[in-house]
Amino acid sequence: MGREIDLLVNYPRPKRDVAARGAAKTDEDRAIARQFGREFFDGDRRHGYGGFGYAPRFWQPVIPTFQAYFGLSADRSVLDVGCAKGFMLHDLAEAIPGITVAGVDVSAYAVENAIEDMRPHVQVADAIALPFANDSFDVVISINTVHNLERMDCASALQEIERVGRGGAFVTVDAYRTDDEKDRMLNWNLTAKTIMHVDEWISFFDEVGYSGDYYWFIP
């Protein structure tokens, strides 16, 4: 199995009013968010992002970390599982000219509204059945995506990441270490269906055969 490492250390971390979000969110809001359509990305804030547009301050500081850690260069290939509108792939392709990039997302809305230069490289697909041959990519990255699936499907998605990659992988998932973090996580959560203690996640990775690296989203 891989190791716990925060490759998003340089991703901006805004202040979050977790309690207020928990009090405001309803089961109906979560049901709408889990459709991953226009409402989730560009609708009302209570259903998701409240407007999901490109901003270089998010992924540009992260790309050098990915590049150094995975040894990314023009002759390498990267798949983003849960690519949304392709913003991370866009910054990756700009930083490393010639690199092969691809992205999949369950949201037809996100793919149809992807940043223009990434539209030829992204497609609608489910993480439990990635439309690629075995060993297709040098690196597979999935940020805050596989936890949106039920436990069995989450296992399948991790196994698919393992199947299409050639050894380099990194995922982040909703998790907690303490009861307080668990409460915060449950208050914050809008879309995740599989949330576990970090130790449970590590055991789960081993159980399903995921050998890549990982880190946690804890609000």
- 54-217 architecture in CATH? 3-Layer(aba) Sandwich (3.40)
| 156, 186 contact by CB (below 8 A) | no
Residue ranges per structural domain of the chain: 54-217
Amino acid 219: pLDDT? 87
- Of 218, 219, 217, 215, whose CA–CA distance to 65 is shortest? 215
Q: What is the pLDDT of residues 1-10, one digit of tens each?
A: 799 999 999 9
- For residue 117, what pLDDT is reported? 98
Report the C-alpha gap between 207 and 26 in whole angstroms: 33
Low pLDDT (below 70) residues in the chain: 16-24
- CB neighbours of residue 23 within 10 Å: 9
Distance set, CA 27 to CA 58, 72, 151, 180, 217 (Å) = 29, 41, 20, 22, 21
Give the residue carrying structure tokens 């990635």. 130
Instruction: Return the amino acid letter for 185.
Output: M
Choose among 200, 71, 206, 195: nearest CA to 138. Answer: 71
List residues bridging with 24 in a β-sheet: none
* Ordered DSSP codes for 154-175: HHHHHHHHHHHEEEEEEEEEEE
Interacting residues of 60 by C-beta distance below 8 A, sequence separation 6+ = 91, 95
User: Rounded to whole angstroms, how far apart are CA atoms 63 and 66?
Assistant: 5
Report yes or no on whether pTM surpasses 0.85. Answer: yes
Q: Which of 160, 7, 175 is nearest to 79 (CA)?
A: 160
